[in-house]
Structure 1
Amino acid sequence: MKTMNDLFILEGMKESIVLAGHRGLTRNVQFVNISDTPDIIKFLNKDHLLLTTGYAFKDDTQKLCELIRQMHALNCSGIVIKINRFLKTLPAEVKLLADDLAFPIIDLHTDHSLGEVSRHILNYLNDHEAEQLYYALHVQKEFSDMMIKGYSLNALVEQLGHFLLRPTLLLNHRGEKIAQSHDFRKESMKIIEQEIIEIIKKDLDAAREGNTYAIPSKENQSISTFPVQTKRQDNSMLVIIDSLTLPYPSSQMAIEQAGNVVSFTIIKEQAIEENSRLLKNNFFADLIEMRIQSDEEIISRGNFYGLQEDLNNICIICTVDPKGENYETLQLYEKKVGELYHSIYDKLEDEIIDAQVNATLFTKEKYFVMIVQFPDITETEMKHITKFVETAQSHLQGDYSISFGVSNAVHSLRDIPTAYHEAVEAIMNGYDLNMFGFINFYRTRELEELLKIIPKKDLKALYENTLKSLAYPKTKEDQELVKTIQVYLDCQCEISETSRKLFIHRNTVKYRIEKTEALLNCSFRDPAYSLRIRVALIIGSILEESE
């Protein structure tokens, strides 16, 4: 049975104003009559609602008071009247009587005809599906107004629970609680809340699409999930207890309308979050590009974004490999590139939370950058980081391969640029070797690797100027001289150790060293000459390898 209060969701009644008898809005409504005749009481009965212009009572307040008393005695629903048409205002005597009897008198806006309003009310009273539709639209309007006024997600969920008369939860795509109705503040419901979250986390994919589950600890009680779309790839969820037995006129349609508004509110909050993310990435770019000179500013801004000064830092970067038909197709669609990168960012956030890693996530150009912090550099910590990277890669890779570069540890926020460049170099080294979908840990380059970067003509000039006639030994004697100085330098200029390794007498070693020093016009005991000759010998092996 509908009440007077229920009618305000209808077209025409939305703008109506209750002039008197507010306490009577709980009266039932079953029939509607339209009349302007003085003897209308003959045609009224219990639960009848009267629609009138008030013409019959425009000059007789007492007649209107008498009609109200008679309708009250019959337990009628109330009067909807066009006050501005003839009465202009509701007489004070009538208002006092209606308030005393809790008999509702409602002012109908002049823009709506009695016939039009009567049709809406009758359709509402007689059509079950139409009523549910009206109610769903009413819910949608209420929630839209709340969203426009800036109500929080918790307020929206609380209001939905109030409309449905059911305990309601809002969970994110990971099954974590975002908001709840007041029901879950009770101690008895906190255990059920944990039980619900555990059930959903075991079957996240199905729950995000909408599903129904039994509550093990509560017989004959179930929960239903309803998808809430956001900017994330995976849906958030509204969780409602006993949604299969919603009180009339609530319906799945009303839940969907409320869910749409919750969706818009989450998207609005995500847009604010993206703006904050942009500021965070600007800080990281300033840090990497050395635009922040003050240590105090680095520490202050770093702390704001979760970076602590007194911890060790490892930089982990990942990127989509520029390889394959899928990647080439992707480059043609800017929107798809954006969606993919948003998806990777969200998944990396999930991986950080799931692995319980103390990490802050940034982006810089095509790279996703994680600064992982920990108190001590131990083997256990390094194993944990390695496992985290391997797990993240296995979860991220799909249509596109993803590669990771990992830096060495640095001990200060000011040194993070060094760690970042090491991680980038680790990625680039993998690509130089034509690798894809890899995890590469940075290692400090050996002298030989650094020398290979220098142009060959410069290496050759240094080599020939240093070793002179021994640069290209042609005789067996010259070859023995070169081999002797190499072993002699490797043995830290120890003659006895050199003779032992070469299986020759120590005097032979002394003779060869003296002869070589004379040829090169240097002393191997001089650290500068010694270093130069060591480098020249390494260059010789590089040149030989290249030829």
Structure 2
Amino acid sequence: MKALNDLFILEGMKDSTVLAGHRGLTRHVQFVNISDTPDIIQFLDKNHLLLTTAYPFKNNTRKLCELIKQMHALNCTGIVIKVNRFLKELPDEVKLLADNLSFPIIDLPMQYTLGNVSRHILNYLNDHEAEQLYYALYIQKEFSNMMIKEYNLAALTGQLGHFLERPVILLNHRGDMIAHSYDFQKDSMKMAEKEIIQIVKQDISNVRKGITFTIPALGEQSITSFPVQTKRQYPSMLIIIDYLTLPYPSSQMAIEQAGNVISFTIIKEQAINENSRLLKNNFFADLIELRIRSEKEIVSRANYYGLKSDMESICIVCAIDAEGENYESLQLYKKNVVELHNSIYDQLEDELMNAEMDATLFTKEKYFVIILQFPEYTEIEMSKVREFIETAQYNIQEGFTISFGISNQIQQLTDIPTAYQEAVESIKSGYNSRNRGFINFYKTKEVKELLNTITRKDLRGLYENTLKKLAYPKTKDDLELVKTIEVYLDCQCEISEASRKLFVHRNTIKYRIKKAEEILNCSFRDPIDSLRIRVSLIIGTILEEDT
């Protein structure tokens, strides 16, 4: 049976004011009577609620007090009066009597008719589904008002726990606690909260859908999860303890209404975060495109986004491999591509948090960019980075593959543009080799790699002009001269070392080097001449590989 206090979620009643007898709001309500006759007591019974304009008592306070005493004796519920209609105000004598008897007297606003209010109450009392709907609408209105007043997620979660009289936890999509009701401030509930979060993370995919489970800390009490949809791919979660024993009419519909408001609030906060992310990415773009020149400004703005100037850094770029069939099909639907990128961004954040990395995540066009920082970037750190990336690849890839390019370490924040270019170059190198799902660490290009980027015609011209007739040695003597030049230069022009490696006498080396200098019209001791000849010898190996 419903209590009088339960009726304040209904149209008319929710705008009414309790004038007296507040302690009696727990009285039960079974039926509603409307009357403006002096002998109404004859038609009232236990748990009856009277709706009246009080016209028969407008000039007779004594009769109104007598009616209140009689209704109290019958254990009636209370009186709802349109006070402003005839009484104008409730007499103090009546208020005092009602307070003494804990007999509720409620003032109904003038804009509501007794008939409509009676109909709402009777429907509520007799129709369980209507009752749940009224309660859900009441919850929805209360939470909507809180949203308009910009209550934060902690306040909304606390209020939901208050309405349901149950402990409530709000978790994000990865199972981390966003807010909880006031129940969890108790020491006895803190352990329960840890156990709940642990189980949620172990079975996150099912908890997101909505399940019921138990934990040792709470014995037989059930724990039920409800998804809260947001802009993310995966929902946040409301966790309600002992939901299965909620008193009527606390229905799932009411919880969904509260969840909707919580969802809107989360989406609003996500929009704020996305704007902050945009500003962060704009800073990164300005940095790597050299639009920020002042070292002081670079350090200041970088520190704002969590980058420390006293640590070594590396840059990692991550990209979705465009050759995957699923990714190719997503290109037809820009919205899906955006959702995929947002999902990977969120998952990279998760992986960085799980790995406890000191990192800042950016995006630049199609790339996800991670700046990792270390007190010192050693071989051990490099192994940890590879382990982190391999774990991220395994956890994130689903119907597509992702690849990573990693730069060398840098000492200063002003060198981030260089690190970014190295990381991009390393990932492009993987794609040029037609690889997918790879991890490439940047390597400084050797001279041979650089020379390979020059046209063969230009290489051949430099080679022939520098080595002259030794460019294409045909005789045994010419072959010995070329070999001697290579070894002599490798030994940094040390005759004794070259003699030992070639197993010939020192004087033989001297003779051959002198002869070579005459043929090439150069001096091996001259840095410029030495460099030209070294480069030409490397070009010779490239040209040989082409034949």
| Equivalent in the alignment of 2:298 | 298
* Aligned 1:272-351 pairs, distance under 5 A: 272-351=272-351
**What corresponds to 1:166 in structure 2?**
166
Q: Is the 8 A contact 2:15 2:109 kept in 1?
A: yes
- Give the match for residue 532 of structure 1: 532
**Other-structure match for 1:451:** 451
**Amino acid corresponding to residue 442 of structure 1 in structure 2:** Y
* Structure 1 residue 192 corresponds to structure 2 residue 160: no
Shift of 1:278: 1.1
Amino acid at match of 1:63: K
Unaligned runs of at least 5 residues, structure 1: none
Q: Check whether the contact 1:58–1:87 (CA below 8 A) recurs between aligned residues.
A: yes
TM-score by length of 2: 0.94
- Structure 1 residue aligned with 2:234: 234
- State the AA in 1 paired with 2:49: L
- The root-mean-square deviation of aligned C-alpha atoms, in Å, is 2.1
The amino acid of 1:197's aligned partner reads I
Using the TM superposition, give the Cα deviation of residue 373 of structure 1 relative to its aligned residue in structure 2, in angstroms. 0.8
Contact 2:325 2:400 in 1 (8 A): no
500-509 or 222-231, larger mean C-alpha shift: 500-509
Given that residues 33 and 50 in structure 2 are in contact (C-alpha distance below 8 angstroms), is that contact kept between their aligned partners in structure 1? yes
Distance 1:107 1:66 in 2: 19
> Offset at 1:92?
5.2
Partner of 1:153: 153
Where in structure 2 are there 5+ consecutive unaligned residues? none
* Cα deviation, residue 100, structure 1: 4.8
| Contact 1:22 1:104 survives alignment (8 Å) | yes
Residue 95 of structure 1: CA displacement? 4.4
Shift of 1:385: 0.9
Deviation at 1:515, TM superposition (A): 2.1
Listed one character per residue, the Cα deviations across residues 66-87 of structure 1 (whole Å, up to 9, x for unaligned) are: 3233323333222223344444
TM-score of the two chains, using structure 1 as the length reference: 0.94
2:522 maps to which residue?
522
Q: Which residue of 2 aligns with 1:224?
A: 224
Residue in 2 that maps onto 1:470? 470
SS of residue in 1 equivalent to 2:173: coil
| Paired residue secondary structure (1:373) | strand
Q: Secondary structure at the match of 2:14?
A: coil
**What is the alpha-carbon distance in structure 2 between the residues aligned to residue 440 and residue 248 of structure 1?**
60
**Counterpart residue number, 2:383:** 383
Paired position in structure 2 for 1:415: 415
Structure 2 counterpart SS, 1:343: helix
User: What is the deviation of 1:94?
Assistant: 4.2
What's the offset of the Cα at 1:424? Answer: 0.5
1:21, distance to aligned residue in structure 2 (A): 3.7
Q: In the alignment, what sits opposite 2:263?
A: 263
CA drift at 1:174 = 2.3
> Is the deviation greater in 249-258 or in 444-453?
249-258
Deviates more, 1:435-444 or 1:72-81: 72-81
Percent identity between the aligned chains?
71
Name the SS for the 1:175 alignment partner. coil
Query: C-alpha separation between the residues in 2 aligned to 1:314 and 1:175?
Result: 30
Whole-Å separation in 1 of the counterparts to 2:449 and 2:363: 30
Give the deviation of 1:175 after TM superposition.
Answer: 2.1
The residue aligned with 1:399 is: 399
Is the CA contact (8 Å cut-off) linking 2:357 and 2:372 kept in structure 1? yes
Q: Which amino acid aligns with 1:375?
A: P
CA contact (8 A) 1:165 1:247 kept: no
Find runs of 4+ consecutive structure 1 residues off by over 6 angstroms. Answer: none
Paired residues of 2:13 and 2:117 also in contact (CA < 8 A): yes
Q: CA deviation at 1:407?
A: 0.8
Q: Deviations over 1:104-126 (max 9, x none)?
A: 33333344332222121112112
Counterpart-to-counterpart distance in 2, 1:24 and 1:244: 29
How far 1:149 moved relative to its partner? 0.9
User: What's the CA shift for 1:389?
Assistant: 0.7
One-letter identity of the residue aligned with 1:281: N
Aligned-partner residue type, residue 391 of structure 1: T
Aligned to 2:55: 55
8 Å CA contact 2:313, 2:377 repeated in 1: no
Give 2:511's aligned amino acid.
Y
Cα offset, 1:270, TM superposition: 1.2
User: Secondary structure of 1:453's partner?
Assistant: coil
Paired residues of 2:464 and 2:471 also in contact (CA < 8 A): yes
Counterparts of 1:356 and 1:94, CA distance in 2 = 68
